[in-house]
């Protein structure tokens, strides 16, 4: 990797860390209605460390992330990356109606379609 690629990767990582902190703060304030001390205690970290995380200057450790996931009802994909929970939940509900072989068959058809579209 060249120097510019490394710098760009670091910038993207920092931007994602800041977005993640904002999501966690939003979950804490708007959904859980907790202050920093309350949430920090519930997920097993200090309120100072939670403040750093929300400011985009730290990351949750696995154990705290798992507790926040359980407490908030959000997926870790949403907490970490902002991936829409509703899409994951809706997809899971839809897929419950089909067998594994039907899902795999459909997935293979989608892969073929993507290849056809890409090759045009």
pLDDT number for residue 88: 74
Give the residue extent of every domain in the chain. 1-83, 84-120
pTM for this model (two decimals): 0.72
Q: pLDDT digit string (tens) for 6-60?
A: 999 999 999 999 999 999 999 999 999 999 999 999 999 999 999 999 999 999 9
In the prediction, which pLDDT does 37 show? 98
User: Among the CATH numbers 1.10.260.40, 2.40.50.100, 1.20.1250.20, 3.30.70.890, which is that of 1-83?
Assistant: 1.10.260.40
Is residue 83 scored above 90 in pLDDT?
Answer: no
Separation of alpha carbons 12 and 72, rounded Å:
26
Cβ 44 vs Cβ 64: under 8 Å: yes
Q: What percent of the chain stands above pLDDT 90?
A: 77
């Amino acid at each position: 990797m060249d120097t510019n690629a490394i710098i760009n990767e670091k910038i993207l990582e920092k931007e994602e860390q800041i977005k993640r902190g904002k999501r966690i703060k939003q979950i804490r304030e708007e959904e859980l209605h907790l202050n920093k001390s309350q949430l920090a205690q519930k997920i097993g970290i200090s309120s100072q460390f939670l403040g750093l995380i929300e400011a985009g200057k730290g990351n949750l450790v696995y154990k705290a992330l798992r507790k926040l996931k359980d407490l908030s009802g959000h997926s870790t994909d949403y907490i970490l990356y902002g991936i829409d929970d509703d899409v994951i939940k809706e997809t899971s509900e839809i897929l419950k109606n089909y067998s594994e072989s039907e899902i795999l068959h459909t997935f293979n058809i989608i892969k073929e379609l993507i290849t056809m579209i890409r090759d045009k």
